[in-house]
Amino acid sequence: MSTFQVTDTAVSELEQLAQDIASKTQEFLAVLRRNGCALPSHDPDTARNDSLPIEGTVLQRHLMELTTELQALVQGPRLHVHNQVLAHVNLVNLHAIYSFKLPSRVPMEGSISYAELAGKIQVGEDVVRRIARYSITKHIFREVDGGDRLTHSVTSKMLAESPMMMEWIGMVCEEMWPAATQAVSALAKWPRSQEPQHSGYALAHGLETHVFDMLVDQPERAERFANAMVYFNSIEDLASHHLCDAYDWKSVSQVVDIGGSAGSTAVALATRLPRVSIVIQDQAVLEDQARRSIPPALADRVSFMAHDFFQDQPVRDADVYHFRWIFHDWSDRYCLKLLRALVPALKPGARVVVSDFVVPESGATSWYTEGLVRGFDLAMMELFNAREREERDWQKLFVEADSRFRFAGVRTVPGADLAFISAIWTPPV
């Protein structure tokens, strides 16, 4: 029987990680206390810190990096891979939570018996108990009365109060998960393709077109996609308002928000920038939802226009043309079409702004942080046969689209996960 020998180097690395975690934890708690934030707890009566001060967000990310690295190191390679493989059951569990609307069926105060819950959702009591008890191991729900009744944890209570987050869970489980199971098959079937219909999503859902073309004829699914984006826009790190801090908007009077969906970015800009008028452009199926999202006080400056962004841009001479989370839905071939469709409308000095992820160069940041963005990259591959991009990829796109685009680089804003990539239209005089 062999004995695992822990080297001095491994012990030193573990000890250093443990010391760093202890130190950063104390710093994190100090920031929470100093800013009147609730201390982390699974108690459902604990206030949720849906947004933290920037110094708290930085420490939170640092602690996630450290604890993830500690867990990987302690597990060793076999358990590290083993636990990743078994993680797929998390989606089984979340799909059940979404499909049976479990968070909203558990009373906000008090509890519900498994028998009563099973009757409400027409599923066997044993099955409900098994689903709930796996959820409990992930701190979703709690049991009381000797394990016969289900009640809320802070996480399940959040889900009950967050319908847009539930929509996102539904989109992931019913749209993205099937696509993920077919992503590698799509790569094998269509090597080197840049066509959106050559994706895991297309194989899983029997599509011969892009996802968004399919949604035109399926408004319920389109609304769920839009609601998922509303949820993402509500996350402070991904909130639309960070765009306001990325540039000097004093000389800007008109913005076109291309692919603006339900209008969250347009509303954020118009609220912060009282002299700016904004046109939301997206598919006609989203018009009613977008119009409902525009507050009456902004209706004179925010409007909706149905537009296919691969066709020539109809709004001419705007100061800024903005794309939020659009380019990562498309391969380079189609992103070039997006940019070239703008050209007839551009005036000298017009700025094209892209709010999107910028993938860090390999090894330039922690593996935890790099892994988050590269995870999105694989998700875009499975859904759309598309990609996230490094800074040099963005520069190449603008240069190839038209030599009159002057790449203006990438800007970041403290507290924002999305970066802001831009180019300025500079035709020769």
Nearest to 372 by CA among 84, 65, 20, 1: 65
CA atoms within 13 A on the CB side of 217: 6
Residues 399 and 405: beta-carbon distance below 8 Å: yes
Maximal C-alpha separation, the chain: 80
Structure tokens at 344: 């007839």
Q: Residue-wise over 8-36: b if at least 16 C-beta within 10 A, else e?
A: eeeeeeeeebeebbeebeeebeebbeeee
Q: Residue-wise over 274-288: b if at least 16 C-beta within 10 A, else e?
A: eebbbbbbbbebbee
Q: What is the DSSP letter of 307?
A: -
- Which residues form the catalytic set? 328
**What region does 36 belong to: left with phi over 0, alpha with psi -120 to 50, or beta?**
left
Q: How many whole angstroms from its chain centre is CA 49? A: 19
Distance CA 151, CA 113 (A): 9
Distance CA 150, CA 107 (A): 9
For the purposes of burial, counting CB atoms within 10 Å of the CB of 143, is it exposed (0-12), middle (13-18) or buried (19 or more)? middle
**What region does 27 belong to: left with phi over 0, alpha with psi -120 to 50, or beta?**
alpha
Secondary element (H or E) of residue 78: helix 54-86
Say which residues have a Cβ less than 8 Å from residue 106's Cβ, sequence separation at least 6.
Answer: 112, 117, 141, 150, 151, 152, 156, 160
